[in-house]
Amino acid sequence: MLQLQQLRQDPELVKKKLAVKYFGEPGLVDEIIVLDDQRKKVQLEFDTNKSQVNSISKEIGQLMAKGQKEEAEQRKQAVAGLNASLQPISEKLAETEKQLTDLLLKLPNLPSDNVPAGKTPAENVVAREGGSKPALPEGSVPHWDLIRKYDIVDFETGAKITGSGFPLYKGKGAKLQRALIQYFLDYNTGAGYTEYLPPFMVNEATAYGTGQLPDKEGQMYYMPADNLYMIPTSEVPVTNIYRDEIVKADDLPIRMTAYSPCFRREAGSFGKDVRGLNRVHQFEKVEIVQLVHPDKSYDALEEMVAHVEKLLQSLELPYRILKLCGGDMSFTSAFTYDFEVFSAAQERWLEVSSVSNFEAYQSNRMKIRFKDANGKTQLVHSLNGSSLALPRILACLLENNQTAEGIKLPGVLHKYFGEEKLA
């Protein structure tokens, strides 16, 4: 959530930045400022009356000490009248504050000055590419045929158990999933990230904290009996670990990593873009999260990008890194890099990771703060990235490494999988 002071300092700059994200309601900025002025007036009225109550109450004590009971009784009646008037003012203040918060929640995060201009994914900017696209042998097939050939993922039984988009991994397919998860976690903890295994369901406050609510409510699985949500990513519970806390400045940056299944209701279109493992309702992912000093968040962003890049290099996959344009960025992000891996059999790029800086947008919702050298309380900046999401990584590993003798696995996975190839 944006901070009011951002809007009040330079509302026209805020509108200009919102336009970079093609936000359609710039007038909300003016509405919020007008409503905040109203809130300040109501707050002043409340504070003035409350101050009078406190002042008269102090007088009452002094009068009673002097034995002036009649005068004290008159003062008590005055206090009673003021207290009665405070109630409607308090209710009006609470209502105005709620209206103000509701309007602020409608505003997306402001993009960084370095976000490329553009409205569609076609206008994203390629920052760099790495790896070599493989020359596949004759007769090569996409991963949905390979998983049938090697009998490692069963979509039909998954659909029978749950529904479409819930794959059932089996045999060496399940083992390879486990190998990838363990390798990703070891890679992250080796770089100084603390491992967590979070709950896979979260409450409303947690989903609100990272921006899933109210923006992405329709994308999450909801259990109304308990008012809980299945997580779309471990970013949600992990970032909320420090919700409503003041962390020590010396503890920054805080680096966290977690494995979790991810649940998303987004699958629903048709064609090769969603075929096989390209898009599913449940998938596994390892996430990295950082909470950092505001002055160092863009250094942390580049560090996280380099971290994910080296991970993809270790898997020997051809990749490219994109700077997302304003129109393709998420509601909560200030700057995002996407990682895509080239799927040789499908002859297309598949997104496998996003690494984003949210600046203070999430931490303002969660009230994650620290005290600076002058003792002033500030909001931390939060960042997160996929390191990595498994379905499309697995798809590309299968497709790009297929041979007549089986699927050759990159060397870093041999000790985790226990074999050099999938046959």
Q: Which two tokens stand for residue 264?
A: 């998303």
Taking residues 75-102, what's their average pLDDT?
88
Burial of 212 (0-12, 13-18, 19+ CB in 10 A): buried
Q: Which residues pair with 259 in a beta bridge?
A: 286
pLDDT band at 210 (very low <50, low <70, confident <90, very high): very high
Q: Residue 288: phi, psi to the nearest 5?
A: -120, 140
Residue 114 domain flag: no
- Amino acid 143: pLDDT: 96
**CATH number for position 75:** 1.10.287.40
Q: Can you give the pLDDT at residue 60?
A: 77
Residue pLDDT, tens place only, 323-342? 999 999 999 999 999 999 99
DSSP string, 114-145: TPPP-SSGGG-EEEEEES----PPTT---HHH
Q: For residue 273, what pLDDT is reported?
A: 63
Torsion of CA 53, 54, 60, 63, to 10 degrees: -130
Give domain status of residue 116, yes or no: no
Task: Answer yes or no: do 295 and 224 share one domain.
Answer: yes
Percent pLDDT > 70 in the chain is 98
Q: Are residues 300 and 393 in the same domain?
A: yes
Q: Is 372 left (phi over 0), alpha (psi -120 to 50) or beta?
A: beta
Q: Assign residue 175 the CATH number of its domain.
A: 3.30.930.10
Backbone phi, then psi, for 329, in 5-degree steps?
-85, 160
CB 109 within 8 A of CB 357: no
Residue 290 has pLDDT above 90, yes or no: yes
Asked, for residue 342, whether it belongs to a domain, the answer is yes
Q: Mark whether 327 and 180 lie in a shared domain.
A: yes
**Residue 411 lies inside a defined structural domain of this protein:** yes
| End position of a domain, from candidates 55, 74, 104 | 104
E runs forming strands in 100-245 = 125-130, 153-154, 168-169, 194-196, 201-203, 222-223, 228-230
pLDDT tens by residue, 166-207: 999 999 999 999 999 999 999 999 999 999 999 999 999 999
**E strand or H helix at 74, and its extent?**
helix 69-104
Answer with the one of 76, 104, 132 that is the final residue of a domain. 104
- The answer to whether residues 182 and 300 belong to one domain is yes
98 with 165, same domain? no
The answer to whether residue 109 scores a pLDDT higher than 80 is yes
pLDDT at residue 141, rounded to an integer: 96
Q: What are phi and psi of 26, to 5 degrees?
A: -60, -25
Which of helix, strand or coil describes residue 359? coil
User: How many residues belong to the chain?
Assistant: 423
- Beta strands (DSSP E) in 19-112 are none
pLDDT digits (tens, 9 = 90+) for 40-75: 999 999 998 888 877 787 777 777 777 777 777 777
Q: Which residues pair with 271 in a beta bridge?
A: none
Long-range contact pairs involving 80-86 (C-beta distance under 8 Å, separation at least 24) = 82/49, 82/52, 82/53, 82/56, 83/53, 85/49, 86/46, 86/49, 86/50, 86/53
Nearest to residue 245, comparing CAs of 381, 380, 376, 368?
A: 368
Is residue 372 located within the same domain as residue 407?
Answer: yes
Which of 73, 104, 135 terminates a domain? The answer is 104
- C-alpha to C-alpha distance for 210 and 74, rounded to whole angstroms: 53
The average pLDDT across 71-82 equals: 77
Average of pLDDT values for 375-384? 97
pLDDT band at 298 (very low <50, low <70, confident <90, very high): very high
Question: Does residue 223 share a domain with residue 157?
Answer: yes
| pLDDT tens digits, one per residue of 236-289 | 999 999 999 999 999 999 999 999 999 998 744 445 567 899 989 999 999 999
In a domain, 111, yes or no: no
78 and 136, same domain (yes or no): no
Residue 203 resides in a domain: yes
Domain count, the chain: 2
Q: Report the alpha-carbon distance of residue 183 to residue 189 in Å, rounded.
A: 10
Residue 334 lies in a domain: yes
Q: Which two three-digit tokens encode residue 362?
A: 């999430």
Domain containing 80 equals 4-104
**Residues 388 and 351 occupy one common structural domain:** yes
Residues 66 and 132 in one domain: no
By CB atoms closer than 10 A (0-12, 13-18, 19+), residue 101 is: exposed
One domain for residues 366 and 223: yes
CA angle 51/56/60 to nearest 5° reads 150
Does residue 369 belong to any structural domain of this protein?
Answer: yes
Same domain, 92 and 135: no
